[in-house]
Amino acid sequence: MKNTTLLPYLTAMGIDVFAPRQSTAATTAIIPPTLNWERLQQQAATCQRCSLHQTRTQTVFGVGNRQAALMIIGEAPGFYEDQQGMPFVGRAGQLLTAMLQAIGLAREDVYIANILKCRPPNNRDPLPEEVQSCTPFLEQQITLIQPKLLLAVGRIAAHYLLKQKSSLETLRGKIHYFSKSHTPLIVTFHPAYLLRNPQDKKKALIDLQFVHDTLQPIH
């Protein structure tokens, strides 16, 4: 007989039963990928689904470890990212790198991508139609990587991935799930916000520690 079947009887008999605790480790549903990396990257590079292709220097596909346990999702490329074709290479990127180092991770350990692959003019917020056209690329990346945990940095990424518009403060400090892949997801501040509001860096470090602790049991 299984222990679970016996449990009510043992409990009724006043016998203490010690069972292994359920792991709190994040779990990820597996979605079969439909495109391979090369085809996906090529499609993104030549994409003309929205008007941002007219103003971009190049697309910023994403960078890092394609087997990463942690995938970081930002908003959209800025000036330097558009020039270099890599996400988070400007000042905000340097802060993101330092935040990762604080929990013992190098950029090469994680995968970094954005909601949008092209820079919006003057770094304005992405428009809903741009998000709608572009996010199939991101969703394919998530499917291919199957990360154990997503870290949404900033309001735009969090709101898209969670399909809700709560304040960042409300969203921080909890494990959410990206519904399309059931991937666990944590929210923190965007590093560009932290550059403007350095008093919140301590809170961001608490979030990063939460990321670290959540990843621990599942490495």
Interface residues toward ligand URA, by CB under 6 A: 74-78, 81, 87-88, 92-93, 114, 192
CB of residue 77 to ligand URA, shortest distance in Å: 5
Query: Which residue, 26 or 116, is less far from ligand URA as judged by CB?
Result: 116
Q: Closer CB to ligand URA, residue 87 or residue 184? A: 87
What does the alpha-carbon distance between residue 140 and residue 205 come to, in Å, rounded to a whole number? 29
Q: State which residue, 192 or 211, has the beta carbon closest to ligand URA.
A: 192
| In the complex, minimum distance from the CB of residue 174 to ligand URA, in angstroms, rounded to a whole number | 21
* Rg of the chain (C-alpha set): 20
Q: What is the token pair recorded at 14? A: 């006043």
- Rounded to whole angstroms, how far apart are CA atoms 53 and 150? 27
Instruction: Report in angstroms how near the CB of residue 178 gets to ligand URA at its nearest.
Output: 17
The residues pairing with 71 across neighbouring beta strands, listed in sequence order, are 111, 150
CB closer to ligand URA out of 78 and 184: 78
What whole-number distance in Å separates Cα of residue 107 and Cα of residue 63?
A: 9
Measured from the CB of residue 219, what is the shortest distance to ligand URA in angstroms? 26
Cβ neighbours, 10 Å, residue 23: 9
Q: Which two tokens stand for residue 36?
A: 């391979």
Of 26 and 73, CB closest to ligand URA: 73
Between 76 and 204, CB nearer to ligand URA: 76
Task: Write out the two tokens for 150.
Answer: 């997503």
The C-alpha atoms of residue 93 and residue 126 are separated, in whole angstroms, by 19
> Which residue is listed with tokens 């480790």?
25
Minimum gap (Å) between residue 215 Cβ and ligand URA: 22
DSSP code at position 181: T
Residue with the CB atom nearest ligand URA in the bound state: 74
CB of 111: closest distance to ligand URA in angstroms? 13
Q: What angle do CA 18, 22, 28 make, to 5 degrees?
A: 165
